[in-house]
Structure 1
Amino acid sequence: MRHAETDYLIIGAGATGLAFADTLIAETGAHVTFVDRHGKPGGHWNDAYAFVTLHQPSAFYGVASMELGSGLKDPVGLNRGMAELASGPEVSGYFERVMNHRLLASGQVSYHPLSNYLGETEGGGVFESLLSGERTQLTVRRKVVDATYFSPTVPSTHTPAFSIGEGVRVVAPNALPGLWQLAQGAPMPRRFVVLGAGKTAMDACIWLMESGTPADAITWVVPRDSWVVNRLSTQNGPEFFHEAIGSQADQMQAFAEARSIDDLYLRLEACGALLRIDRERVPTMFHLATLSEAEVEVLRRIRDVVRLGRVTAIDAGGMQLQQGRVAVEPGALYIDCTASAVRFKPPAPVFHGNRIVVQLLRAPLVTFSAALTAYVEAHYDDEAHKNRLCTPVPFPHTTAEYVRTMAVNMSNQFLWSQDAALRQWIRHCRLDAFGRLVGSVDKADAEKQAVLARLKAQAQAAAANLPRLLGAVGAG
């Protein structure tokens, strides 16, 4: 068995682990060792479908020290006029550059790809090379960092929860760009059945139609309808100040004035912050998926939407769902988008002895949360205080749970604002969605200063109303 030493062992070289390490080595002289099962950095991005993109602008994703993207707006397509969204291949290439040009080049980082972490021992941990089987005993001088706690599952690596009959064609969305190859061995499908209601399913439906599939050739199985974030409200360029910061003020006003959970969502929709695909249905799910209004219009073209719960079995004649059976023409291609992008685990203390469990501290900014955790680790000693600054934000599973998400978001933001050093770090961190945008406002700009004043006032009113809305959540 080999032996090695490090200050921090990071389990997982995905976006979370990379963002944590980037800030840690910027703030300290610590040595960091990565152990990861993938052959390249980037975690689940290595397994994603080719047409996946970020939900929100590239400008505040990745690691703090290295820009992602060109800073340009998309000139064409369904995101036209808004900040570019890095594609899956772009994100994968970016994380490879982060590892090689930033982390390894610093001399403070060791990286062990294609390695399986076997567990902790006294004073460290053991990992095994998947290629050679050789094991390494790693002495950890400081802490073990779990950057996998909320690792998502993706269609290409998950096991479907439904049975598949003989002769039925079920593929992950990864297979769609290569459909031309089917013409060499099997007839091209004329019916596409998209399974799932999350962002992956939305992406698959949009890709099919944008690639030439008639909307009436698509069957979309939607177990639950979902609210989605209007991407216009996430833009962080100075020309989008009113759409972004003004929207934040509008959202705070909605939280301040809402009388119930249903009333809250209607107010968020009325101010343009949220969208729904089917205007005749009240969604019961909100996972923070983000779409442009143009993308929502494309999805509205699909008329064959099945709302009978989840699929339990597929055979040559059709689908069995939780609430009934649906016949499907032979030869249909089923696209499995049922993998959960979020693992709903109970929050755990971020700092606990010699362990750090990186979690979401401001929804939905995963990499910002990881970077902030590293900053707190580097500059504070008292564990209880560190955990107060890093209270995990629960990811919403239902519409009602979003209220609790926002309550913790706002509580964290208030605590950070009371710490001068941390406040300054956030203000200059590129991963903070709107910090630099707010900080750039000229004090002589009365119009924008009025928007900021309104945001502050409405945030205070929202904080006062949140306990009543939380009570409604608890009662439900």
Structure 2
Amino acid sequence: MLSTDYLIIGSGALGMAFADQLLTETDADMVIVDRHHMPGGHWNDAYPFVRLHQPSAFYGVGSRALGSSRLDVAGFNKGYYELASGAQIISYYDRLMNERFLPSGRVQYFPLCDYQGDNRFVSRLSGDIQEATFRKKLVDATFLNTQVPSTHVPSFELCDGVKLVTPNVLPKLAPDFRSYVILGGGKTAMDVAVWLLQMGASPESIRWIVPRDSWLRNRDKVQPGATFFKRTAGSQADQLEAAAEATSVADLFERLERTGQFLRIDTTVTPTMYRGATISCLEVEALRRIKDVVRKGRVLRIERRTVILEHGAIESCSGSLYVDCTAKAFRTQPSVRVFDGDRITIQMLRPGALCLGAAVIGHIEAAYDDETIKNELCMPMQTPNAPADFARLALGDLQAGRRWSADKTLHRWVVEHRLTGAGIGQADVSVHDPDADQIRKRLREARPKAEANLSRIIAELATDSLQ
């Protein structure tokens, strides 16, 4: 029987960020169990052309940078900080495990094992069962249950003679076809469409079945570091001022779009989906070249001659390759307490900043004793699905920021942490000029107004839902 301080389930991005923080701040030992053969979680299953949609500076663990903090000089991300590829991320976590975690002598790693509950896990190869008792905490780093197309079971029917694939095999099979049908309206579908266009497919060869259009964050507005401080902080001020003045969720998004915070692919369609995806203006321009866009709801059944959708049927594209991008990134379920007795459940603490949140939870576990205080500082947020969820997350982010700022030691730790974004906190301190000072003033003045107005909007949403 194994004995450890922390039994961590999952060696994906969240489990690794949490464990890395414990390695840095404590002398605790850990057992890490994961069903994949390598650390990195869902990145092991992702399609080969996948990349982060936010700068690499915001991803990984606190002790080691991901990438080289360079600006891309070509492609759809030109002029912005690099976006790590899936292969780079897997290599990053593999090296982290083998160069930092295991050599520490404080981490035992059990890949290709399924956790069965009751401190027991089973090898997926041998079937051998092991038990690990823990002296401090069981850490669940799998709560969000990230899904990717290759591990997703389609919810629609498929008739014989229709070729359906996930994006994982697209590079191998795409040359055998001359037309393509993309299923899904999320970021994966956008990645597939952009990749096909990059590889030389004509826009006319692509049909895109979009169940719901999505609001998208403009990558231009979320760049880290001193170089982009005025643009990023100014964008934050624009967002807070929009939140302070909006009369509704719809009005909020109109204001955010006018100031360039948010984008939509078709400006004649009002999006009903928001999942926090970030995209560049160049990618949006490329996607707008695809004109055969079908908006009749989700796919129910694909036949050789017909595609049956929620709101009608269309003629199928004979001989086309269908690409399934319908998997949801995260499962939607109620949040739970992060700290609950001898159990820690890692969840999102600030919108989109998943790795930072996991590192914060590790820091709070290491530095604080009182469970009530721990949970007050680690209020979990649900991942978004609809525009109204953005308003809820924006309010939760303001409240979390206020709680963290009240604790001066925690505030300083967060500002200085790598995952806050390649020195963006330091940039806030170091940039001194009238324009920067004016942005800081706008931020200070808008925060309380935005929090009050968002509270009002969300209360009205709750009232409307009861009527």
TM category (shorter chain) comes to over 0.9
Is the contact between residue 415 and residue 425 of structure 2 (CA under 8 Å) also seen in structure 1? no
Q: 1:174 aligns with which of 160, 163, 168?
A: 168
Deviations 1:376-432 (A, max 9, x none): 111111111111100011222111121111111111111011112111110110111
Matched residues in 1 for 2:166 and 2:186: separation?
Answer: 14
Matched residues in 2 for 1:438 and 1:130: separation?
Answer: 46
Partner of 1:110: 108
Tell me how far 1:71 sits from its aligned partner.
1.0
In the alignment, structure 1 residue 424 sits paired with structure 2 residue 412: yes
Tell me how far 1:439 sits from its aligned partner.
4.6
Letter in 2 for 1:87: S
Partner of 2:4: 6
Matched residues in 2 for 1:296 and 1:290: separation?
Answer: 11
Letter in 1 for 2:298: R
Letter in 2 for 1:344: T
Tell me how far 1:212 sits from its aligned partner.
0.6
Is the contact between residue 395 and residue 402 of structure 1 (CA under 8 Å) also seen in structure 2? no
Q: 1:193 aligns with which of 156, 181, 194?
A: 181
Q: 2:147 aligns with which of 153, 176, 184?
A: 153
Partner of 1:185: none
* Alignment coverage as a number of residue pairs: 464
Q: In the superposition, relative to structure 1, how do residues 373 and 189 fare at CA in structure 2: closer, same or farther (>3 Å)?
A: same
Following superposition of structure 1 onto structure 2, how do residues 91-110 of structure 1 map, counting pairs within 5 Å?
Answer: 91-110=89-108
In the alignment, structure 1 residue 367 sits paired with structure 2 residue 355: yes
Runs of 5+ in structure 2 lacking a partner? none
Deviations 1:249-289 (A, max 9, x none): 00000000001111000000011110010011111111011
Q: In the superposition, relative to structure 1, how do residues 289 and 405 fare at CA in structure 2: closer, same or farther (>3 Å)?
A: same
Deviations 1:27-78 (A, max 9, x none): 1100011000000000000000011100110012100000000111111001
In the alignment, structure 1 residue 44 sits paired with structure 2 residue 32: no
Is the contact between residue 416 and residue 425 of structure 2 (CA under 8 Å) also seen in structure 1? no
Matched residues in 2 for 1:308 and 1:438: separation?
Answer: 48
Tell me how far 1:471 sits from its aligned partner.
2.0
Q: Secondary structure at the match of 1:19?
A: helix
Let me know the Cα RMSD of the aligned residues. 1.3
Matched residues in 2 for 1:95 and 1:443: separation?
Answer: 33
In the alignment, structure 1 residue 268 sits paired with structure 2 residue 256: yes
Is the contact between residue 30 and residue 107 of structure 2 (CA under 8 Å) also seen in structure 1? yes
Partner of 1:470: 458
Matched residues in 1 for 2:424 and 2:148: separation?
Answer: 33
Letter in 1 for 2:368: Y
Letter in 1 for 2:158: I
Letter in 1 for 2:323: I
Tell me how far 1:438 sits from its aligned partner.
5.0
Is the contact between residue 441 and residue 449 of structure 1 (CA under 8 Å) also seen in structure 2? no
Letter in 2 for 1:226: S
Q: In the superposition, relative to structure 1, how do residues 407 and 194 fare at CA in structure 2: closer, same or farther (>3 Å)?
A: same
Deviates more, 1:264-273 or 1:404-413: 404-413
Q: In the superposition, relative to structure 1, how do residues 262 and 440 fare at CA in structure 2: closer, same or farther (>3 Å)?
A: closer
Q: Secondary structure at the match of 1:136?
A: strand
In the alignment, structure 1 residue 283 sits paired with structure 2 residue 271: yes
Is the contact between residue 11 and residue 117 of structure 1 (CA under 8 Å) also seen in structure 2? yes
Matched residues in 2 for 1:435 and 1:456: separation?
Answer: 20
Matched residues in 2 for 1:318 and 1:69: separation?
Answer: 46
Runs of 5+ in structure 1 lacking a partner? 183-187
Q: In the superposition, relative to structure 1, how do residues 126 and 294 fare at CA in structure 2: closer, same or farther (>3 Å)?
A: same
Tell me how far 1:446 sits from its aligned partner.
2.8
Q: Secondary structure at the match of 1:305?
A: strand
Q: 1:339 aligns with which of 319, 327, 330?
A: 327
Letter in 1 for 2:39: P
Letter in 2 for 1:93: S
Partner of 2:66: 68
Letter in 2 for 1:26: T
Letter in 2 for 1:312: L
Q: Percent identity of the aligned residues?
A: 47
Is the contact between residue 170 and residue 333 of structure 1 (CA under 8 Å) also seen in structure 2? yes
Structure 1's consecutive aligned runs of 4 or more residues displaced over 3 angstroms after TM superposition are: 433-444
Q: Secondary structure at the match of 2:348?
A: coil
Q: Secondary structure at the match of 2:273?
A: coil
Q: 1:381 aligns with which of 358, 366, 369?
A: 369
Partner of 1:143: 137
Matched residues in 1 for 2:405 and 2:347: separation?
Answer: 20
Q: Secondary structure at the match of 1:286?
A: strand
Deviations 1:140-186 (A, max 9, x none): 11110000000211101111111111111000011111126x6xxxx
Partner of 1:20: 18
Partner of 1:226: 214
Matched residues in 1 for 2:444 and 2:421: separation?
Answer: 17
Is the contact between residue 229 and residue 424 of structure 2 (CA under 8 Å) also seen in structure 1? no
Letter in 2 for 1:327: E
Tell me how far 1:239 sits from its aligned partner.
1.5
Matched residues in 2 for 1:436 and 1:199: separation?
Answer: 26
Normalising by structure 2, what TM-score? Answer: 0.97
Normalising by structure 1, what TM-score? Answer: 0.95
Letter in 1 for 2:374: K
Q: 2:125 aligns with which of 131, 134, 140?
A: 131
Matched residues in 2 for 1:293 and 1:164: separation?
Answer: 35
Q: 2:316 aligns with which of 310, 323, 328?
A: 328
Matched residues in 1 for 2:60 and 2:44: separation?
Answer: 15
Q: Secondary structure at the match of 1:312?
A: strand
Matched residues in 2 for 1:97 and 1:233: separation?
Answer: 31
Is the contact between residue 220 and residue 280 of structure 2 (CA under 8 Å) also seen in structure 1? yes
Matched residues in 1 for 2:380 and 2:110: separation?
Answer: 28
Matched residues in 2 for 1:439 and 1:460: separation?
Answer: 23
